[in-house]
Each structure stands twice: as C-alpha cells, then as structure tokens.
Amino acid sequence: MNKNFQLALNKKNNLCPPIWFMRQAGRYHSHYQGLRVQYTFEQLCKQPLLAAEVALGPVLDFGFDTAILFSDILFPLEALGCDLEFTDKGPKLGPKPTTNFTTTQDAIAQLQFQFDALSETRRQLPHDKSLIGFIGGPWTLFTYWMEDTHQGPLLKSKSHLSYYSNWLTNILAPLIEESIRNQLASGAEVVMIFDTSAGELSPTLFQEVVTPWIKKWTNLFPNQIMYYARGVQPAHYQDSLWMQKSNLLGIGVDHRWSLKQAFELFPDKVIQGNFDQSLLFLPTDEFKLHFEKYLDEVLSLPSDFLQRWVCGLGHGVLPKTPESHVRWIIQRVRERFKMKSNLEAKGQEQIYSQN
C-alpha cells in the first residue's frame, strides 16, 4: 500500500499528497497504444494478465501513487444481458432484455474477469503502491441502458423515473453491491463510484434518485467508497449533512469546483481532483504557468485540508494528452510540496533557536 494514499484516506499529516488521475492508463499513453496494436480493448479488459499490464503501465512509467482497475463501467450491463461492442467511436449497446434478466449470481460470475484483474494487478503491483477499484454509478448506468449514452438532455431516462426505481432496486443495485464486495475482497483498498451523467440531474432529482443509494452502499462498506459525478454543483449536495456524517470516504470534484469550497463543504471527507485536464493541451510554457497558479492556490490552503487531498485532474486524462505534461505534473507536485515542507521545517528551527 502507498503510504501517502493511506495517510490521505485516514486524514493524517501528509508531507505530499498521493497522485492519481482518472483514465491514467488510457489512450494517451504509449504503453497502452503498444498493447492496442496487438489486442482489442475487450481483450485488454477481459484477460486479467493484460488488464494488469495496462493498469501497471502508468504507475511504473510516471510514478503514480495508485493503480486502478483497468476495465469499463458498462460491463455490468453486458452481464445483465445487454449486447455490448466497443468500436473506434466508443461503446455500442445492442438490444436489452425487458424481462428475464440475468440473475445477480450469474451476472457476478460473468464479471469475474474484473475481480481476477484486480487480484493480478495487486500481485504485480509494487508494495509501495495502492490499488483502486470502480463501478459505474446508478444513474449513469441507467442512462446507458435507456439511451445508449450518458450525454445530452437524457429525455428518455428522465421520463422513466418510476422504471428506474424498480429496475435499480431489483436488478442493478444488487449487482453493484456484489461487485463492490468482490472488488474489495480482490485487493481494492477503495472503490470509486463513477456517476458521470449525474450532473445532468437537477439538485432535487439528484437527492431523490442518487443519494439514497450512495447512503445504502456507504453504510454497507463504511469508509471504503468514494463518489464522483461530473458536472455536479454544490447545490447537488445541498443535503450534504448526511455526507458529512456518513461512512462515505470521500468525494471527487471536477475542475468546475474550487478545492477550498469542496474541503469546506465536506469537512471530514477525502477530496479528489481537480486540475482542468484540457489545459494539458496548451503549449508547454502556458500549461506550466496555469498549473503553477493552480498549485499556488492549493498550497495556500490550510494543512488540515491538504492532508486529505488526492491530487488529480478534473475528469481524467484525455486522448492525445502529451505524456511529458502528465510526467511534469507529478514531478512538480512533489517538488513544490517538498519545498513547502522544507520551509516549514526551517521556520520551526528558527523558533526553537530563538527560544
């Protein structure tokens, strides 16, 4: 396990935040691109040795503090009986059953490759690195089930809320729960719930259709689950008191948030995020200038905020992102926090010498 990651999860004094990016093992990385020449995306996901190799690539190359399961959020839908194909343009979903769904037990058996991939990744992962699992969020998986996408106005999904409630309660939620349980048993230290399309819900609907399930799962798996939804605003967490007092480990925030705001809203939770991933496409000098400004703001935050921060991007690494910029961020974060630690140590020495 990674020391910095564990310190952050336990909200303890940390000289440097752990660094982990969503989609850090994705299409931008030459290691992944080399494997894709030989294998399909599905082969990389469904063959545990290959999935582990992909997950390990950026950890060994760039020095990230954690690895994450290499897979896709849509495989649970395939396990429930939905046709699923991955093309160059993205996932393509076929006909979906309306009755006679796959049982939870059979669906979990079909997802065994994910649990085996986690076990294999943990086996190969250096002992000083951590491992994260993930599952798609309930609303996001529902939008894919209804509309084959998580983007747009989601009219079909929003006009079938009663169906969502029944389908989630009886079909999807038991599968999510068992997947989380199996991922934790397979070596994941934390399971992220990625609810990409939940930001398309109004705050009121978010409280109605998302919050109850996050409450349920965090009670079942206390301090082992983090939640991320792209595009949500503080208003979505208006009933945030339950989160503050719950067993939810932490919240991921995208680049639309200020970290200060997130830390204040969730005073006892880990916060993950949130530099704007698009800025990595700027010319190098401009990109570095923006990131230095971002770090200046971060480093001005109180130390009790920073000790529960997981450094990351707003919504993960985009395809064609320059690898050199990813590498520089990791190096620069560690350099700046080391400088901060050294300055604080010198300040303490001066105080002691004066006394």
Cβ-contact 198, 229 below 8 angstroms: yes
What pLDDT shows up at residue 354?
59
Q: What is the DSSP string of 76-137?
A: HHHHTT--EEEETTEEEE----SSSPPPHHHHHHHTHHHHHHHHHHHHHS-TT-EEEEEEE-
Domain chopping of the chain, boundaries: 3-354
Residues 2-33: tens digit of each pLDDT: 999 999 999 998 899 999 999 999 999 999 99
Cβ count near 184 (within 10 Å): 18
pLDDT exceeds 60 at position 88: yes
Q: Is 3-354 a CATH 3.40.50.300 domain?
A: no
Of the chain, the percentage scoring pLDDT greater than 70 comes to 95
Q: How far apart are the first and last CA of the chain?
A: 40
Contacts of 135 (CB under 8 A, 6+ apart): 73, 76, 176, 179, 180, 183, 191, 192, 193, 194
**Which value, in Å, is the radius of gyration of the alpha carbons in the chain?**
20
Distance CA 246, CA 337 (A): 30
Is pTM beyond 0.85 here? yes
Distances (CA, A) of 40 to 34, 36, 180, 284, 355: 11, 6, 26, 32, 66
Classify each residue of 65-88 as buried b or exposed e, where b means 16 or more C-beta atoms within 10 Å of its C-beta: bbbbbbbbbbbbbbbbbbebeeee
Mean pLDDT of 253-271: 94
Residues 138-182: tens digit of each pLDDT: 999 999 999 888 877 888 999 999 989 999 999 999 999 999 999
Torsion angle, CA of 130/228/231/55, rounded to 10 degrees? 40
The residue whose two tokens read 């309660």 is: 169
Mean pLDDT of 317-322: 97
Cβ-contact 337, 298 below 8 angstroms: no
